Amino acid sequence: MSLRQSWTADYEPLCRPFDNWTLPIEELNLTVRPYNRLKRAGIHTYSELTARSEQDLLAIEGFDPTMVEEVKQRLADVDKSLRPLPPDTAREHVAVIELSGTPSVRAVAFHPDGRLLATTGEADTVRLWDTTTGQAVGALLTGHTDTVHAVAFHPDGHLLATAAADDTARLWDTTTGQPVGTPLAGHIRSVFAVAFHPDGHLLTTAGWDYGVRLWEVSTRRLIALFTGHTGTIWSAAFHPDGHYLATASEDGTVRLWDATGQTVALFSHAKPVHTLAFHPDGHLLVTAGEDGAVRLWDIATGQSVDAPLTGHTEAVWSAAFHPGGRILATASVDGTVRLWDIATGQTVALFIGRFRFFYPVAFHPDGHHLAIAGNDGTARLWDIPTPLGTVPPVAK
């Protein structure tokens, strides 16, 4: 009898939602002896393994019944965490955005009304796309002189902010595609993070020089500099109520700042932290980074919520909450994007790419689509199946 579970589905081959067929056997976390014997036998993926019977495994040189039991247990663990939905809930991507001339997409952001998607690759330009047609809107946004690392829309959508390796951030008019005023200068070397305050009157930037800068949007004037990190700052986000700012750093910490620049909470990882995001209602903060673990923190207490979400095997560089608050998306250099149910801590969907890794993810404001971008030079918009898009928010 095959070890394979009794479900099948035919999904789009590049990124497979609700599918563990192409999982590398490294994901099973087998001990050294069975892992090495399976690899020598040419078994590299979940599908290749589950197609074998127990007798097939025992026929592999050096394989014994204890190893078979270990394999069966690991497969059972995977099947519990990757719960496939019925085939009619799996949707293909609705648009593929090709960024010619760039090997990867570094950042994506949706316009607040969802009609536009901003992307940037390993170049000094930014482009806006129609999310319905997948076609470019207007000309390239040009003005930076080095790689653009981050993009963010103003809450009312009339401005786009960008952060780049040319030591500056810029503001752009999203209607005309023209820069607004002169660059926001003052950083030393690359700027990696940019975010608008919820009411739109402030912009924060941060990067290589460890400092967190606040700018008045209307005047583009620097009004504050927060210090405390001892490593590059990779990500920044304002709390939904605007009272706090969170920053994630190479120094292994996430700092929660108040309006005066005081650190009111410090969340620690053992390794560098690359990404963070606030839950839509503000009661949770998600952080992730070099160790591949995804952590949830209670803002009120400053304490971690349950155990870390585990499954990624390499660094996580992007995280985003579904607008409903129950589902969390994370993207890793292990070549996967995972959707998590934060109420259970389980992976409820898995997107696997043929290319090496993913950079950013972002949910459409209506929650029905997810933008996934990677180092193949494309950004794909995926339908979020109804069972996920209508999951009720997690209770506090």
pLDDT in tens, 305-314: 989 999 998 9
The pLDDT confidence band at residue 240, using thresholds 50, 70 and 90, is very high
Q: How far is CA 239 from CA 195, 286, 299, 377, in A?
A: 11, 12, 10, 31
CA dihedral 23, 25, 28, 32 (to 10 degrees): -170
Q: Of 106, 115, 161, 107, whose CA–CA distance to 138 is shortest?
A: 115
d(CA 152, CA 135): 20
How many helices (DSSP H) and strands (DSSP E) are in the chain? 5, 26
Q: Could you give the domains of the chain?
A: 25-86 (1.10.150.20), 89-389 (2.130.10.10)
The pLDDT, as a whole number, for residue 388 is 57
pLDDT at 92 over 50: no
Q: Look at residue 57 and give its three-state secondary structure.
A: helix
- Poorest-pLDDT segment among 1-15, 138-152, 258-272: 1-15
**C-alpha closest to that of 320 among 286, 293, 353:** 286
CA distance 346 to 81: 5
How many Å apart are CA 242 and CA 269, to the nearest integer? 25
Confidence of residue 38 (pLDDT cuts 50, 70, 90): very high
Query: How distant, in Å, are the alpha carbons of 191, 233, 234, 299, 395 from that of 274?
Result: 14, 8, 5, 19, 27
At residue 350 the predicted structure's pLDDT band, cuts being 50, 70 and 90, is confident
The rounded mean pLDDT for the chain is 83
What is the reported pLDDT for 381?
Answer: 81
